[in-house]
Amino acid sequence: MEIIGYIEAIDLPELDLFGLDAKIDTGADSCSIHCDEIVIQGNKVTFLLHGDSHSAYHGKKITLPIAKRKKVKSSNGESEERIFIYSLLKLGCKSYQAEISLSNRENMRYPMLIGRRFMSHRYLVDVSRKFITTKEV
């Protein structure tokens, strides 16, 4: 298993996002990305990645198939239904398909959260370090 820090730079090439800072959160079940203007149309979802939310964001609207809908308990303890998409997520030298919820994370320090389901059997987290994979690449 690869060792990662509690903050890592990740790529989501299918969303045209590169060098996005992500918080590695072993307390969270799933991955989540900050976006706005989430519009559901049948089995597809369109969302906006604001250019001013993070330097890696490009301000483009993206339309993708909905992977699933699920009730998720947020960090403030409230449950809400979220839309999930699938996207390739590159962390270090390895890429894996990730299930990512779309969420407004504007009040959070990091626009992307990597949950334990994505990390399971792949990564060990060293909570005393950050950007380990960036330094090794």
Q: What would the pLDDT profile of 17-50 be if each residue is shown by its tens digit?
A: 999 999 999 989 999 999 989 999 999 999 998 6
pLDDT for the residue 80: 86
Q: Give 60's pLDDT tier (boundaries 50, 70, 90).
A: confident
With CA atoms as reference, report the closest residue to 115 among 131, 130, 98, 132: 98
Q: What is the domain count for the chain?
A: 1
What distance in Å separates the CA atoms of residue 103 and residue 66, rounded to the nearest whole number? Answer: 14
- Scored b (16 or more CB within 10 A) or e, 3-32 reads ebbbbbbbbbeebebeebbbbbbeebebbb
Report yes or no: 112 and 23 within 8 Å, Cβ to Cβ.
Answer: yes
pLDDT for the residue 111: 87
Mean pLDDT of 71-100: 90
CATH number of the structural domain spanning residue 51:
2.40.70.10
pLDDT for the residue 137: 46
* pTM (predicted TM-score): 0.87
Domain around 13: 2-136
pLDDT for the residue 46: 96
In the three-class reduction of DSSP (H, G, I as helix; E, B as strand; rest coil), residue 3 is classed as strand
With CA atoms as reference, report the closest residue to 9 among 126, 102, 136: 136
